[in-house]
């Protein structure tokens, strides 16, 4: 069950590659599912989520948006989709989140700045090159900031990917062929171990989202580890009530078969919320 994660870089032709790849291999694609799910779970207009991701949000939207919640919920969606298999995932940090999974193919599609600007001008039907350049730069800066904030990586680092393709020199059709060849190589075949790893990561993401959903655990920041349905909670909480709530919320998540609650309660003399971060 191939899982292919592709970067989303404005004007790089990554969308064309992803769509043709999915069509060629008969795979599903991640289209607007993540935005729709985030909008539903956060009671936030889809337009606002898109503006936040694209770096177009106004100051009020930036100040009031819960970026951590967006990151947690979007990660849950990406992992759930990847766990189903037979899919092309484009953007949303999928290449970074799924990097540890051996059978996931991580691809960066890139292109020269000039060609990307030409692409945007053509698609917008404008001859204002300065405007198009600003849009490309703004998009790149927003992507780079989000990747650094969420994953602590430098966007564009070739070591993050299994394959980097430059559509200045490689056609969309050739990109599809090269990625297809890589999915068939022994290194990227799904194994019982790689499948279990992805299932564990998906369950962990599901639990983090459940914590965000629950008022009692919304601000709980602890280490969550999942192994075959068995979940371990480690870290510091400020009260017995928070410790109990964390276990209760985790135990109720679909796929959890047991919870090893190793959370420690902060002593009364040091019980300050900021102290556990």
User: What is the per-residue pLDDT across 23-58, written as a single tens digit (0 to 9) for each?
Assistant: 999 999 876 677 777 777 777 777 877 776 666 667
Residues 166-190 have pLDDT tens digits of 999 999 999 999 999 999 999 999 9
Indicate the SS3 state at residue 120: helix
Please state the rounded mean pLDDT for residues 231-256.
96
CA distance linking residue 86 with residue 98, whole number of Å? 14
- Residue 15, token pair as written in the block: 């969308």
For 77-101, what is the mean pLDDT?
93
Give residue 62's pLDDT band: very low, low, confident or very high (50, 70, 90). Answer: low
Question: Has residue 252 got a pLDDT over 70?
Answer: yes
pLDDT at 118 over 90: yes
Q: Give the CA count within 13 Å in the CB-facing half-sphere of 98.
A: 38
pLDDT digits (tens, 9 = 90+) for 122-142: 999 999 999 999 999 999 998
pLDDT at residue 41, rounded to an integer:
75
Dist. CA 60–CA 159, nearest whole Å: 36
- pLDDT score recorded for residue 48: 75
The whole-number average pLDDT for the span 14-25 is 95
Identify the pLDDT of residue 68.
79
- Better pLDDT: 84 or 41: 84
- Whether the per-residue pLDDT at 145 is higher than 80: the answer is yes
pLDDT of residue 64: 63
Task: Name the pTM for this structure.
Answer: 0.85
pLDDT at 42: 73
Burial per residue of 183-207, b for 16 or more beta-carbon CB atoms within 10 angstroms, e otherwise: beeeebebeeebbebbbbbbbbbbb
The confidence score (pLDDT) of residue 268 equals 63
Task: Kindly indicate the confidence band of residue 258, based on its pLDDT and cuts at 50, 70 and 90.
Answer: very high
pLDDT of amino acid 57 = 66
> What's the N-to-C CA distance of the chain in angstroms?
39
Q: 110 to each of 13, 17, 71, 99, how far by Cα in Å?
A: 8, 11, 24, 18
Per-residue pLDDT, 87: 95
* Residue with the larger pLDDT of the pair 249 and 150: 249
In 3D, which of 57, 59, 36 has the Cα closest to residue 48?
Answer: 57
Helix axes 129-151, 113-124, angle to 10 degrees: 120
pLDDT of residue 275 exceeding 70? no
Domains of the chain: 3-188 (3.40.50.300), 214-276 (3.30.1340)
């Amino acid at each position: 069950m191939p899982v292919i994660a592709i970067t989303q870089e404005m004007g790089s032709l990554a969308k064309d590659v992803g769509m043709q790849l999915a069509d060629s291999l008969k795979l599903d694609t991640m289209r607007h599912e993540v935005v729709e799910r985030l909008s539903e779970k956060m009671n936030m207009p889809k337009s606002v989520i898109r503006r936040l991701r694209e770096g177009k949000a106004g100051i009020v939207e930036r100040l009031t948006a819960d970026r951590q919640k967006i990151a947690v919920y979007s990660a849950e969606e990406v992992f759930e989709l990847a766990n189903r298999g037979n899919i092309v995932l484009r953007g949303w940090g999928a290449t970074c989140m799924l990097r540890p999974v051996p059978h996931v193919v991580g691809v960066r599609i890139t292109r020269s700045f000039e060609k990307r600007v030409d692409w945007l001008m053509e698609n917008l039907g404008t001859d204002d090159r300065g405007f198009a350049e600003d849009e490309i730069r703004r998009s790149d800066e927003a992507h780079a900031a989000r990747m650094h904030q969420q994953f602590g990586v430098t966007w564009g680092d070739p070591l993050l990917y299994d394959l980097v393709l430059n559509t200045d020199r490689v056609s969309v059709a050739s990109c599809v062929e090269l990625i297809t060849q890589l999915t068939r190589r022994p290194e990227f075949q799904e194994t019982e171990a790689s499948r279990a790893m992805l299932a564990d990561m998906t369950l962990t993401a599901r639990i983090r989202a459940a914590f965000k959903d629950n008022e009692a655990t919304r601000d709980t920041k602890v280490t969550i580890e999942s192994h075959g349905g068995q979940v371990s909670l480690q870290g510091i909480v400020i009260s017995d009530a928070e410790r109990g709530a964390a276990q209760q919320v985790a135990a109720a998540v679909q796929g959890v078969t047991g919870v090893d609650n190793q959370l420690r309660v902060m002593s009364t003399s040091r019980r300050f919320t900021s102290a556990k971060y």
